[in-house]
Structure 1
Amino acid sequence: MSALTKTNEQMPAKVSAKQTASAGQYLTFVLGGEVYAIGILNTKEIIDYGYLTEVPMMPSFVRGVINLRGSVVPVIDLQARFGKGNTAVDKRTGIIIVETHRDTEEGDQQDIGIIVDAVNEVVDINQSDIEPAPSFGAGIPSDFINAMAKRDDRFVILLNVNRVLSIDEMAALSHSVEYA
C-alpha cells in the first residue's frame, strides 16, 4: 500500500511540469529582443551584473558562479541555454536569482542566477490571458515554455523555470563536457 501511495504522491510533480501556467504575478524581462516571464514566487532577487568566477569544464551556457552573501550561486546565460549565442553584457544587463527545485523525494532546492538583457516589471496575468504553449515556432525547446500570455497586443513567453534550469540536466551536460 505504501508503494502505491508513493507513486500517487510523485505523480502531481511530474504532471504539473506539463500543465499550462496559472494566473498570478510574473516578473518580465527581455532576452534577445523577446519578452519572457517567470513566476514571482520563483524569484528571490534581482542584482546588477557583476564579477563572475568562471568554472572550467562547464557547458557554454554556464557563465560562472557568484558569491551571494557567502553562498556559491551558479549563473546561467539564458540566451545561450536557448541555443541563441551569448548575452551581450551592457549597463542594463542583470542577474535574476531564481529558486529551483528537483523532482526528488528530498525536494532539493538550488538558487541559480540567470543573465538577462534587462528586467522589466512585475505584472499581474489573468487566466483569461493565458494560452497553451505552442509546439513549434518559439525558437526554444517547447518543454521550456509553460504557456503564452497576451499582454499589450503581444505575447509574453511564460517559462517553466524548473525545466529551463533543471539541475539534473545541467549536471548531466557538465559531465558529458568533462568526459568529451
Structure 2
Amino acid sequence: METAENQVARTDVREYLTFSLGEEHYALDIMAVKEIRGYEAVTRIANAPDFIKGVINLRGDIVPIVDLRLKFNVGEATYDEFTIVIVIQIHDRMVGIVVDGVSDVISLSREERRPPPEFGVAFDSRFLVGLAKVQDHMVILVNIEALITSQELGLVEVGAQESPDVDS
C-alpha cells in the first residue's frame, strides 16, 4: 500500500523532453509536446523576424515554425534531413520549434530542479524555469509557454499569463 508521503513525492515529479541548441542542453515540459518530426519546407511570411522561418500545413492546421537556434543565437542554423522540429501545443495553438537534436525524456523531482541564475546564460532568463543536473551536465529548463506567448514572438494571444514556478 502506498503511503501519503510516497503519493506526494510521486506527484512532485515532472517529465521533460531534453534537446540541444549548440553546446547547451535544454528541456521543456513533456505535456506541451505533440510530436517530433523532421524539418520540411515552409511557406515564408513577409516581414517576419528571421527566427520565424514560416508556416507549414500539418494535417490541416497552419503551424508557425520558430528556429530557437536563431532566436537565441546558439547553434548553426542548417536545414537538412537531420534538422528536428518539436511540435508543441500552447493553449489552442500548435507551434513548431527547430532544435539541433532531441535527446531523451527525463523525470525531475522538485528537489532536482533549481531556480534559474540571474546572470548570462545563452538562453533569455525570462523564459527559464530553472536548471537541473542530469548525469554529467546541466540542463536548462525552458518555460516554453512564456516564450511562445511572449509579445516578441506574438504567436499566441492570451489574457493574463502565469509563469510556472520552479517549486510548483
**TM-superposed deviation, 1:147:** 0.5
Structure 1 position 37 matched with structure 2 position 37: no
- Alignment-mate amino acid for residue 135 of structure 2: D
8 Å contact kept, 1:61–1:86: no
**TM-superposed deviation, 1:54:** 1.0
Name the CA distance, whole Å, in 2 between partners of 1:82 and 1:23.
Answer: 28
8 Å contact kept, 1:53–1:65: yes
Distance 1:33 1:85, change over 3 A: closer
| Unmatched tracts of structure 1, length 5 or more | 1-21, 102-108, 173-180
Aligned length: 144
Name the TM-score, length of structure 1 as normaliser: 0.74
Structure 1 position 149 matched with structure 2 position 132: yes
**TM-superposed deviation, 1:171:** 2.9
- Alignment-mate amino acid for residue 96 of structure 2: G
Structure 1 position 121 matched with structure 2 position 121: no
- Alignment-mate amino acid for residue 140 of structure 2: I
Name the CA distance, whole Å, in 2 between partners of 1:61 and 1:85.
Answer: 13
- Report what 1:171 is aligned to: 154
8 Å contact kept, 2:148–2:154: no
8 Å contact kept, 2:23–2:75: no
More displaced stretch, 86-95 vs 150-159: 86-95
**TM-superposed deviation, 1:83:** 3.5
Deviations 1:134-180 (A, max 9, x none): 111212221111100110131100000112212543239xxxxxxxx
- Alignment-mate amino acid for residue 158 of structure 1: L
More displaced stretch, 143-152 vs 163-172: 163-172
Q: Which runs of 4+ in 1 moved over 4 A?
A: none
- Alignment-mate amino acid for residue 46 of structure 1: I
Name the CA distance, whole Å, in 2 between partners of 1:162 and 1:143.
Answer: 11
Name the CA distance, whole Å, in 2 between partners of 1:159 and 1:170.
Answer: 15
8 Å contact kept, 1:46–1:96: yes
Structure (1/2) with the larger helix percentage: 1
**TM-superposed deviation, 1:89:** 2.5
Identify which of structures 1 and 2 has the higher relative contact order when contacts are C-alpha pairs closer than 8 Å and 6+ apart.
Answer: 1
Structure 1 position 82 matched with structure 2 position 42: no
Distance 1:118 1:84, change over 3 A: closer
Name the CA distance, whole Å, in 2 between partners of 1:61 and 1:160.
Answer: 18
8 Å contact kept, 2:22–2:75: no
| Unmatched tracts of structure 2, length 5 or more | 1-11, 156-168
- Report what 1:104 is aligned to: none
Aligned-residue CA RMSD (Å): 1.8
